[in-house]
Amino acid sequence: MNTLKWVRGVNGTLGWIAPKRVASKMRVAFMTPRSLPLRDWELPLLANSERITLRFGLSALRWGQGPTVLLMHGWEGRPTQFAALITALVDGGYTVVALDGPAHGRSPGREANVVLFARAMLEAAAELPPLQAVIGHSMGGASAMLAVQLGLRTETLVSIAAPARILGVLRGFARYVGMPPRARSAFIRQVEQDVGMRAATLDVAHYQLDMPGLIVHAEDDNFVSVKESQLIHEAWFDSRLLRLEGGGHQRVLADQRVIDGVLSLLAGRSLQARQSA
């Protein structure tokens, strides 16, 4: 019997008898990231980076010289997954600062969630020059959009393969691990207590996104449905939606069309600033 089948079996039985106990164990599992090894293609970029430490021990990597672009990876991700995009931004004359999210890489913490990621971005921005762009992948994209609601200032924003609604993510995880209804409800309540926000409020339909933006999603993303990108686009009046036929959840980060889209967004904003000066 594989591990997932065993977990579902236990949750499906014990979840009826002790829903809060099952919910508590699954909350810890949901919020505790694994540390995954780097791929060989990430190593050259890592070797060329500058390691910096920001507020509260938050760790980041920095490359290049010029206007600042802030990157946030997704769940169990890392800065060097943006390798192709980072190289293009540095070649284009930008400084790139890519964070290790809380409980990821060299940043402190044992657990993480979208709110902690968003607050980490706010802390980082307080120590950096004005941001020309913020780019987030997956949970990093969701956290970037939330960070803007919490006061993060940026000229442009890019969301790649991000969910529009955190409640949908929680419900999807609860179903995936086989929690019955009472345990699912207890799980969501415990997560809400931990992050200090109602899950239903972590939804782009309630956000105000008033900067130019780019939304990227691949049709064959098996982790976050491409339908989420349409919901984000509908809530964000000044955004362009780039839907790709392929690229999955991770490979999309290296797609040349995504890189071109990001550079075009930044170039357009720079031109607008010069014309209004």
How does pLDDT run along the chain (277 residues), one tens digit per residue? Answer: 578 899 899 888 988 999 999 999 999 999 999 999 999 999 999 999 999 999 899 999 999 999 999 999 999 999 999 999 999 999 999 999 999 999 999 999 999 999 999 999 999 999 999 999 999 999 999 999 999 999 999 999 999 999 999 999 999 999 999 999 999 999 999 999 999 999 999 999 999 999 999 999 999 999 999 999 999 999 999 999 999 999 999 999 999 999 999 999 999 865 555 444 4
Calpha distance 228→42 (Å, rounded): 28
In a domain, 261, yes or no: yes
Q: Dihedral angle at the C-alpha atoms of 205, 208, 213, 216, nearest 10 degrees?
A: -20
Check: CB of residue 186 under 8 Å from CB of residue 20. yes
Residue numbers of the domain that contains 225? 42-164+208-268
Calpha distance 223→156 (Å, rounded): 25
Which of 178, 201, 224 delimits the end of a domain? 201
In a domain, 47, yes or no: yes
Check: CB of residue 219 under 8 Å from CB of residue 249. no
Count of domains forming the chain? 2
Closest by CA to 16, choosing from 187, 191, 171, 181, is 181
In a domain, 137, yes or no: yes
In a domain, 274, yes or no: no
Q: Are residues 50 and 94 in the same domain?
A: yes
In a domain, 23, yes or no: no
Report CA torsion sign: 226, 231, 234, 239: negative
In a domain, 106, yes or no: yes
Residue 105: the pLDDT is 96
Q: What is the CATH number of the domain that holds 125?
A: 3.40.50.1820
Q: What is the pTM of this model?
A: 0.94
Q: Beta-strand (E) ranges in 138-228?
A: 156-160, 213-218
| Cβ count within 10 A of residue 176 | 12
Residue 187: the pLDDT is 97
Closest by CA to 24, choosing from 167, 197, 166, 194, is 194
Q: Are residues 86 and 185 in the same domain?
A: no
Complete edge-to-edge strand list for the sheet that includes strand 68-72? 50-53, 59-63, 95-99, 68-72, 131-137, 156-160, 213-218, 239-244
Residue 273: the pLDDT is 52
Residue 269: the pLDDT is 66
In a domain, 65, yes or no: yes
Q: Are residues 98 and 223 in the same domain?
A: yes
Residues in the chain: 277
Calpha distance 162→164 (Å, rounded): 6
Q: Are residues 181 and 212 in the same domain?
A: no
Token pair of 170 as six digits: 């929680």
Residue 30: the pLDDT is 96
Q: Are residues 70 and 116 in the same domain?
A: yes
Calpha distance 268→108 (Å, rounded): 37
